[in-house]
Structure 1
Amino acid sequence: MALKVLIVGSGITSAITCNYLRERCRSSCRVIVWDKARGVGGRMSTSRSPTMDSCTADLGAQYITTVPENIEASKVVYSTCFTKGLLHPLQSLIEGMHTFPKNTVHYVAPRGMNSLVKEFLTADEVQFNRLVTSVTQNGNKLDVETKDGYKDTFDVVVLTMPVPQILQLSGCVESVLSDDKEKREALSAVKYSSRFAVAYFYDKTLEFDVPWSAKYVVDDELLRYIAIDNKKRNSSATSAVVFHTTVKFGEENIERDVADVQRDIEKHINTLFPTWPKPVSVKCQKWRYSQATAVYEGSPGCITLIQEPLLIAGGDGFTKSTFDGCITSAKAIVNVVEKYITKELAVEGNR
Structure 2
Amino acid sequence: MGAITDVPGIRVGHEQKSDDGWLSGVTVVLPPPGTVGSVDVQGGGPATHETDALDPTTLVSEVSAVVLTGGSAYGLVSASGAQRWCEEDGRGFAVPGGVVPIVPAAAIFDLGRGGDFSARPTPDMGYAAAAAAAAEEDGHDVGRGNVGAGTGALIGRTYKGGVGTASIVLDHGVIVGAIAVVNALGLPTVEHSVLEKSVFQPGAPLNTTLIVVATNAVLDVAECKRTASASHAGIARALSPSHTLGDGDTVFCLSTRAKALDRSDEAARQLSLITLQSAAANVVRLAILDGVAAAEAVHTPAGDYGAYGAL
**TM-score under structure 2 normalisation?**
0.29
| Structure with more relative contact order (C-alpha pairs < 8 Å, separation 6 or more) | 2
Q: Which has the larger radius of gyration?
A: 1
